[in-house]
Amino acid sequence: MCEISCRPLVSVWRRCSCASVIQLILELCSEVVATMIFILFLIYCTPLGTGFEIKSIFCSISESCECDYKPDIKGLEWDLYKNLYGQHMAQDIVSEAVMNFLQNDNPDRPLVLSFHGASGTGKSLVSSMIGRYIYGTAMGSPYIHQFVPTLHFPLANRVQQYRSDLKLWVEGNLTACARSIFIFDEMEKMPPGVIDVLEPHLGPFHVLFQTNYRKAIYIFISTVGQEVVNKLALESRQAGRDREDIRPDELEDGIADAVYNNKNSGFYHSRIITEELITRFVPFLPLLRRHVERCAQRELCQRGECERADVASSVGGAMTYTPNDRQYFSSTGCKLVPAKVNLFL
C-alpha cells in the first residue's frame, strides 16, 4: 500500500491505487461511513474501471453486508411455488411482501412477518428460502440471525436479562448491517415479555448510529394460532369448498387474537400486536395426503431416487391423519417424511 499522510483524501486518490484507498477508508472509518465514502470514490474511480470492478475490489477487502446482499425476488417466487406444497396463502403473501419491501430503497418500516400453523407445514422452509434469495451465502450468512427460545431464552425467571441481551444483540447487528434478517423460531416457547423489547425497532421512526433500522426483516414462527387455521380448513373441507378459496383476511384477526391471548405465546399481551407492528400474519394450512407424498417425492429426488413413486405413496399411507373420523389432514405435516423415506427406501 502506498504511504499516506494526513493530506486530504483527494490528494491520496491521485497518488494511490483504488484498492489502496479503499483499504485506507476501511481502516480509518466506521463501516457505514466507509460505505458512504466508497460511493463517492466509486464515482471518482469510474474512468479507471467499471463500477463492477471497483465493487469487486471493495468486497474483496470489506465485510460489508452490501457485498453479500444479492436479492433474487424471481428466484424466491419460483422456489415458493415449486417447493412449498398446499400453501397458496403463504406463497402469495410472502412473494408480494418481500418484493414490495426489497424494491423500496427507503422503506417506512421493517418487514415483519409472523408465520402460524401446525408443525411440518413449511414455516421454517419458507424462512430459509427468504434468507437464501436475499443473501448469496443463504442461511450461513453472518447477517441472518436465528433465535430458538429453548436455547437462547430457556428460563422464565430471567426475562429482564433476556430483554437486555436481545436489545443489545439486535442493535449491534443492525449497526453492523442495516439489512439484517432476524428469525425467531418456536415463539410458543418464548417467555412472554422478552420479544416486546423489540417494539421500538419495528415501527417507522428509528435511526441509530446512522443505521436505518427500517431495512431489516423480522420473521416470527409459531404453532400458536394453528387451531384457528385448522378449524377454518376443516370447515371449508366439510362444506365442499376448495382450500385455494380460503383468503388470508378470514384468518388474520383470529390469529392475532389467539397469539395475544395465549399465555404460552411469546406475544401474550404484547404491544407488538396491539400497536399493529406485524406487517402480515401468514397462515399455513394443514397438509393433505397428496402434499405429504409430494414432500416424499422431493426427498427422494434429492437422494437420486426420483423414480420411486412407490416409496412416496407408502410414506403418504404411513402418516397419521386427523380428524379421526375423516382422516383429512396429516398430523405432522411433512416433518417426519425424511425418516419415513429411510424406512421404505
Residue numbers belonging to the annotated binding site for ATP: 117-124
Q: Provide the b/e sequence for 308-331 (b: ≥16 CB within 10 Å).
A: beebbebbbeebebeeeeeebbbe
Place of cell 412477518: 113
User: Grid coordinates representing 208?
Assistant: 441509530
User: How many degrees, rounded to 5, is the angle at CA 289 between CA 255 and CA 303?
Assistant: 105
User: How many degrees, rounded to 5, is the angle at CA 208 between CA 204 and CA 209?
Assistant: 150
Cβ-based burial of 248 (10 A; exposed 0-12, middle 13-18, buried ≥19): middle
Helix, coil or strand: residue 221: strand
User: Grid coordinates representing 70?
Assistant: 444479492
Q: Where are the alpha helices (DSSP H) in 116-225?
A: 123-134, 149-152, 159-176, 199-202
Q: How many CA atoms lie within 13 A of 29 on its CB side?
A: 17
User: Across 27-81, where does the E strand assignment appear?
Assistant: none
* β-pairing verdict for 329-330 and 321-322: antiparallel
User: Grid coordinates representing 79?
Assistant: 422456489
Instruction: Point out the annotated binding site.
Output: 117-124
Helix, coil or strand: residue 108: coil
User: Across the chain, where does the E strand assignment appear?
Assistant: 111-117, 144-147, 181-184, 207-208, 211-212, 217-222, 280-284, 321-322, 329-330
Q: Single out the residue of 210, 247, 292, 167 nearest to residue 35, CA to CA.
A: 210
How many residues are given for the chain? 345
Q: Which residues pair with 284 in a beta bridge?
A: 117
For residues 1 and 23, the answer to whether their CB atoms sit within 8 Å is yes
Place of cell 497518488: 15
Q: Single out the residue of 286, 306, 168, 291 nearest to residue 233, CA to CA.
A: 286
